[in-house]
Amino acid sequence: MRTLQPEDAGYEQETSGFNLAIAHRPDVVVPAESAEDVIAAVRHAADAGLPVAVMGAGHAPGLPAEGGLLITTRRMNGVTIDATARTARVEGGARWADVIGPASEHGLAALSGSSPGVGVVGYTLGGGIGLMSRTYGFAADRVRALEVVTADGRLRQVDADQEADLFWALRGGKVTLGVVTSMTFDLLPQASVFAGSLIYPGDAARQVFAAYLDWTRGLTEETTTSVALLRPPGAPPVVAVRVVHTGADGDRVVAPMRAAAPVLADDLRDMPYRDTHLVYNDPEGPMPSWGRGVLLDDVDVDAVLAAADESLVIVEIRHLGGAMAHDAGNAVGWRDAAYCLSTHTIASPEGAKAGDTLMSVAGPRPAPVNFLGLTGDALREQLRGAWQPETVRRLAEIRRAYDPSGVFRFGHPVE
């Protein structure tokens, strides 16, 4: 097991991930290369009385390590595709980019999200709202098995028959129960999709957002979409409608949005699933990023756009529901929400203030755990509302059973 300390060359690089705004500052880092390294690191931490944090791709550290021991998993990025069983087994540090290409060689697709750079495990622990989630549900709904190193340093096999509580909790209950060293999940027989985006001028925002809401009310589970007001630095604002349609007749389905306002660019087409990173073109980072999200039953377009301050680079509404509303016997929260309003910007006091104002438009609504983007006390408070109260109670109970002394107190813990 290799370790790095603050004075060592490579410490800065090892502790930083996608989001530079929230930095891990551990006393010791373990750049893990295997499950054995993770077991050794957790046992060493237990002996030394150190709390443990884990970082995958670093998109949302939550409560970052302040002292203690940080396990980085980025080297654990192995992926095995079983084309017959239609499953992927990934190591704990794989990103979606590591899965999408190999799966597509067999005509299969995973429930990846807007950015292929996001960590598969961090995303799935939080449910995982994917490009095809209205058709196939949350990524967490498709998990078959996990291997997890718990606070006692044991590597546990977790599935529907073994450690059933952990299996329930790890699928959607992103509350830091251990270090996931591998995860096996279903792949979907979806070699291609009808997908891409429609781009409109920024001053058509009201028209496009209103048409979008009408349109989404009538969509079937085959169509997963979002609408966003984008203010790319140094360029004029635009509105983007992103679409991933898993069925036939894509052109007919999107016709109302093509007619909703003058279209500046239209790249909607049949594409192999491996090209779907082009739908959102999310930034690859690293960058100091600030983001928040909130779940809604309906959207007041005028209120949202009035609060969409110029300092916010992205103000987005994702359409939820469809297969995401079907109970899958796991810890994913608030499946009944119809939309997710989120915002991302470069981390700055003005951006954070404007983002808070935008979120307040929605009133006191729960936040989806993958779109919390917070740290400190604000994160602790929002985490308690990220699931229904009964789910929070059960998650806290399971956490106390597997980690009674709070070894995993960083990340996204619920108390």
Q: Give residues 28-57 in contact with ligand FAD (rule: CB under 6 A).
A: 54-57
**Residue 116 in the binding site for ligand FAD (CB under 6 A):** no
| Per-residue DSSP letter, 175 | S
Q: Give residues 281-300 in contact with ligand FAD (rule: CB under 6 A).
A: 282, 289
**Residue 123 in the binding site for ligand FAD (CB under 6 A):** yes
Which contiguous run of DSSP H or E holds residue 321?
none
**Residue 121 in the binding site for ligand FAD (CB under 6 A):** yes
Residue 315 carries which side chain, given as an amino acid letter?
Answer: V
**Residue 115 in the binding site for ligand FAD (CB under 6 A):** yes
Write b or e for each residue in 130-139: b if 16 or more Cβ atoms lie within 10 A of its Cβ, otherwise e.
Answer: bbbbbbbbbb
Please give the Cα distance from 168 to 330 (Å, whole number): 5
Q: Cβ closer to ligand FAD: 225 or 289? A: 289
Q: Choose among 208, 11, 223, 50: nearest CA to 133.
A: 223
What is the pattern of x (binds ligand FAD, CB under 6 A) and - over residues 195-224?
A: ------------------------------
**Residue 179 in the binding site for ligand FAD (CB under 6 A):** yes
**Residue 172 in the binding site for ligand FAD (CB under 6 A):** no
**Residue 250 in the binding site for ligand FAD (CB under 6 A):** no
**Residue 125 in the binding site for ligand FAD (CB under 6 A):** yes
Cα dihedral 109, 110, 114, 116 in deg (nearest 10): -90
Q: Give residues 336-395 in contact with ligand FAD (rule: CB under 6 A).
A: 370
Q: Give residues 307-336 in contact with ligand FAD (rule: CB under 6 A).
A: none
Which contiguous run of DSSP H or E holds residue 258?
helix 250-258
Write b or e for each residue in 87-112: b if 16 or more Cβ atoms lie within 10 A of its Cβ, otherwise e.
Answer: bbbbbbbbbbbbbbebbbebbbbbbb
Q: How many residues form the binding site for ligand FAD (CB under 6 A)?
A: 33
Which contiguous run of DSSP H or E holds residue 209?
helix 205-217
**Residue 180 in the binding site for ligand FAD (CB under 6 A):** yes
**Residue 137 in the binding site for ligand FAD (CB under 6 A):** no
Q: Where are the beta strands (DSSP E) in 190-288?
A: 192-201, 223-230, 238-245, 265-266, 269-272
Please give the Cα distance from 297 to 211 (Å, whole number): 17
Q: Give residues 391-410 in contact with ligand FAD (rule: CB under 6 A).
A: none
**Residue 413 in the binding site for ligand FAD (CB under 6 A):** no
Q: Residues in the site for ligand FAD, rule: CB under 6 A? A: 17-18, 54-62, 73, 92, 113-115, 118-119, 121-123, 125-126, 128-129, 176, 179-180, 282, 289, 370, 411-412
